[in-house]
Structure 1
């Protein structure tokens, strides 16, 4: 067989962009996008993406150019996931909750050539552009007009070259889209939620996104023509790859401009939603709202990010949601570990099932290898559920690297062939991995490692607690001690005191792990994807009077 070698017929680069072309043939007249009164079919979406890619190409967007977008989950945001790379350019989706200074830094760092801007963010982007360094070439601005207005804006405001719909209309529906020369060609640039002093721009190639998309669909068991409600921001790791995934299976994308619990329940009923995604905070919202209602039909919901507290999982599933738990990073293009469910677990109690489901689990089929290694020796930790180490990966969906940051890239993508996540975890006897903390979130108190996630899980058992985050607070004797920031449920009439919360925790866990201080807050600081911003809480804790 030595004479058999790769040939042009089997060397076509892998790319998820081809999913849209197939969807136009296989699901042509089926609905692709629904947003308020707007309904597109897959034939429509395919045509519109080709037209937009054609116009982008005609104004000079080409291979290697970065095209940014600042928009919520609206049809334009979905279409741009195909149209931008279909002209050869690299898609950069920006977090809609960033301030002007941060957006300015990211646009300059990425050297973005063009920015699509939703009408809600025009003043924000114009302010960001005004902060550019002198003599810096400014990007072209394109307005995405009000999708709910009865008379859409026909001409762009000052500073904008054109409107989104105008660019679609001008394009050629028979445009021969630009296929990647290599499957390793960059396709997207996603910035993590790190500090703006050193932006972490994660670059993914066509191959990685093809692999993660198919892997995610298979792992979650998504069949043809699901109805997907976009409660997860598409700018967050490209909606965990389900932007391209919905085209692969001919799904219906239900777009959602703003997250409101009553709206979510209304859309679930109206469109018979089958699937949705969200951080654990979304589960908390759905199960704690005064508008909470039991579903007529089960809805599958995939959560990722911080480990969902078992009490939150129980409440959510009691309403009819079928919760799946996954784990991934921006650097992995989506989730690469999931809690693959075993039939025998169905026989366990609700509490036992919730604890198992809160674990991250085993690698998905798109990930080649996963391990938890001792941070000093690099050896695999014992499979005993208590020996801790850093979670590491190998696989096809790992990023190419950080843009303009070879040092940052080499720190996490090491010569031994592993990608180091920075997350601390354990391996249970059944081989399932469980995150215990981010490395920076581990609280070292008197030489003991305290898992903030474990403390939070216990505090969530308190019926008065709505949300909680635990960070380290400086201590003269112990170095640091756990400090809990607690948001209480609105309907609670008799609110617990700091002492009562501490005693609640001490009754359920080792005393050294229980919080030594509790601060009540009306709201916990969060990212746009619902992750609690612990670095802000750490700053607050550090500024408190020492203990």
Structure 2
């Protein structure tokens, strides 16, 4: 089936609606024409420094390899991040995300694995780039984006705006982006060392970016895609960091549909009042959430302030759960909106979805399946076997430079290529899916398996509990005992928590101990920080 690529699609939409807003941040309001010209300039900069793709292209027999030069994006949210993504694709360079929280050693390991030929970074990161980049096997081209840090230009770096101003705004001659071009998404490292997931941009558009027609089928005709985009009025406010999939996919999905991407004024952390003020001012129609770490502060801010969110139609939640009570608080203040839960991963895209505020099962997305415990066959509805959530269709090729993990994660089942990212699930008689939790968070206690997410969901719904993570701690009696780490430090007493859990959980699932803290339990992308939780639950483990 033919597919589209990001660079060509964006150019076609820009030709159809050149003067419509494409990107808004603070006082910067950029049209589709302006974004197109700036990303062409960046593509010229990259190509003039020798970056591109090898003529022989990708070897299908080695899906873990990349034929592209790579561009590292070491930035907070902002226009330059999206310009970097799009400009790279116009130059046939593969972009990849860098977690800006990494310390020197972590950043060095990531860059050695990714082998960037260029790094686009905010000035506030100039010192660490200067320390790390020079120790790489091949020092990359450095493009520094000015920010409010006041940092001087790093040694050997080019000023981003000056480099763009000196480049041509015309399309590149002889460079033809392809749906086969790669887009690299590094995992957050919450389930092990970060891994570079290799997506064909055509599969990314068909899958996580959600470019589909009214019948649910992928849009493959460029003229049809541009025509539909010319009538789309969506405005998506992206608060989650673009350095993680939820943020990037929300932004690029908006662009593929012809929408405008809006950033809140503050981009180095969540400021709920600022985000809501931006949403009201810009009349946004969609806001992505990342679990309670985003939803709860937004609910608090809505209840103490007056924000006109009448234009908001959808809140898409991914990567972490929203407590049903918090969801009801949001919808009470935004009655015209709906919340859609999606479950997925960097490796699989979105696998299952759920609408509403309850804890009902999920509906499988196209291509999703539940595999048997031994991962050899697809389960049929009603087979009462905890299996593995899997995804076929538009999925990645593999992990950069890692044939072993590629073979272990990307399987062929019943003649169909599928990815198994690590979520356990049960296929119910009506074809819906009960998601049990990440296999990496399963706790074996006294011969029983407990999914941490199930216990966390119960705890987060209790009065006086803002957040909860559940981990295992070594125990002579149980092998591993369940420990709940709760926010805030003034959470209810142990006996009250156990009594409340007993009404909804089997006895063996109830935590043996409770640890309270006022420290955050979430990473900047809203995902659970299990490393922090384990350190609090078992200080001797550090």
User: Shorter-chain TM-score: what band?
Assistant: 0.7 to 0.9
Please state if 1:361 is matched with 2:363: yes
Check whether the contact 2:379–2:427 (CA below 8 A) recurs between aligned residues.
Answer: yes
CA-CA distance at 1:70 after TM superposition: 0.7
CA-CA distance at 1:530 after TM superposition: 1.1
Q: Quick one: distance in 2 between partners of 1:194 and 1:98?
A: 11
Higher mean alpha-carbon deviation, 315-324 vs 228-237, is at 315-324
Distance of aligned partners of 1:308 and 1:123 in 2 relative to their CA distance in 1, 3 Å threshold: same
Distance of aligned partners of 1:266 and 1:181 in 2 relative to their CA distance in 1, 3 Å threshold: closer
Check whether the contact 1:474–1:541 (CA below 8 A) recurs between aligned residues.
Answer: no
Q: Quick one: distance in 2 between partners of 1:163 and 1:315?
A: 46
Q: Quick one: distance in 2 between partners of 1:177 and 1:482?
A: 61
Q: 2:295 aligns with which of 283, 287, 301?
A: 283
- Structure 1 gaps, min length 5: 1-9, 342-349
Q: Quick one: distance in 1 between partners of 2:307 and 2:471?
A: 36
Q: 1:303 aligns with which of 311, 314, 317?
A: 317
Q: Quick one: distance in 2 between partners of 1:242 and 1:531?
A: 16
- 1:464 is matched with which residue? 464
- 2:93 is matched with which residue? 89
- 2:276 is matched with which residue? 265
- 2:165 is matched with which residue? 169
Distance of aligned partners of 1:415 and 1:324 in 2 relative to their CA distance in 1, 3 Å threshold: closer
Check whether the contact 1:15–1:207 (CA below 8 A) recurs between aligned residues.
Answer: yes
Q: What is the RMSD of the two structures over their aligned residues, measured on CA atoms?
A: 2.9
- 1:329 is matched with which residue? 345
- 1:104 is matched with which residue? 108
Check whether the contact 1:30–1:250 (CA below 8 A) recurs between aligned residues.
Answer: no
Q: Quick one: distance in 1 between partners of 2:196 and 2:340?
A: 28
CA-CA distance at 1:540 after TM superposition: 4.5
Pairs aligned (count): 503
Please state if 1:32 is matched with 2:22: yes
Higher mean alpha-carbon deviation, 307-316 vs 375-384, is at 375-384
- 2:69 is matched with which residue? 65
CA-CA distance at 1:380 after TM superposition: 4.0
- Structure 2 gaps, min length 5: 54-67, 218-227
TM-score (norm 1): 0.84
CA-CA distance at 1:266 after TM superposition: 0.9
Aligned to 1:171, what secondary structure does the other structure show?
coil
Counting only pairs closer than 5 Å after superposition, residues 35-434 of structure 1 correspond to structure 2 as: 35-63=25-53, 64-129=68-133, 132=135, 136-146=137-147, 157-176=153-172, 179-180=175-176, 183-186=179-182, 188-194=183-189, 199-212=194-207, 215=210, 224-237=232-245, 239-256=247-264, 257-258=267-268, 259-280=270-291, 281-289=293-301, 292-293=304-305, 295-296=307-308, 297=310, 299=312, 300-320=314-334, 321-332=337-348, 334-339=349-354, 341=355, 353-356=357-360, 359-364=361-366, 369-376=367-374, 378-381=376-379, 383-384=381-382, 387-396=385-394, 398-416=395-413, 417-434=417-434
Deviations 1:259-302 (A, max 9, x none): 20110111011111111112102112212458644653152210
Check whether the contact 1:311–1:460 (CA below 8 A) recurs between aligned residues.
Answer: no
Q: Quick one: distance in 2 between partners of 1:381 and 1:514?
A: 30
Distance of aligned partners of 1:216 and 1:337 in 2 relative to their CA distance in 1, 3 Å threshold: farther
CA-CA distance at 1:19 after TM superposition: 2.2
